[in-house]
Amino acid sequence: MRATIYFDFIDDSEKPIWYVLEFEDYLTWDQTIYFRPMGPFEKKDSHDFDENNAGATVLIDDLKQSLFQEGHLGINLPSIRDRLEREGFYTDQIKSLVMQVGDIEEVMQLESY
C-alpha cells in the first residue's frame, strides 16, 4: 500500500486534509486491516486529488485502534464493503481508501481498552 496525504491552505497555512491508502493488490474485504498512519507518504496539494480514482470513503466509525500494535489503526473493511454494495458499487472497483486526517487524529487520541 502507498500512502498519500493531501494538503489544503486554510488561514494561510498548509493543513493535512485527506490520508489516502492506494493499493494494487486485491483487499480481503471480510476482515479489518491495520496500518501505521505515519510516513513515508507522498505529499500532494488537495487540488491534485483525482476525483475519478475509484476510492472508498472511510468514515470515522470504520476506524479503530489496534489492541495489539501500538500506533496502528484498523479499517473495518466489511463495514465499507456493505456500504458500497448498498450504493451499487463493487469492491473490485476500489483502488484506494480515503480518510479525513481529523478522523485519524481523533481515533488515535482515544484510549485503548
Q: How far apart are CA 5 and CA 100, in angstroms?
A: 10
pTM of the full predicted structure?
Answer: 0.86
pLDDT beyond 80 at 112: no
Quick check: 98 and 23 in contact, CB under 8 A?
A: no
Cell numbers for 13:
497555512
pLDDT tens for residues 1-20? 789 999 998 888 899 999 99
pLDDT tens for residues 52-106? 777 999 999 999 998 888 889 999 999 999 999 999 988 988 989 999 999 999 9
pLDDT tens for residues 14-53? 999 999 999 888 888 999 999 998 877 788 888 888 777 7
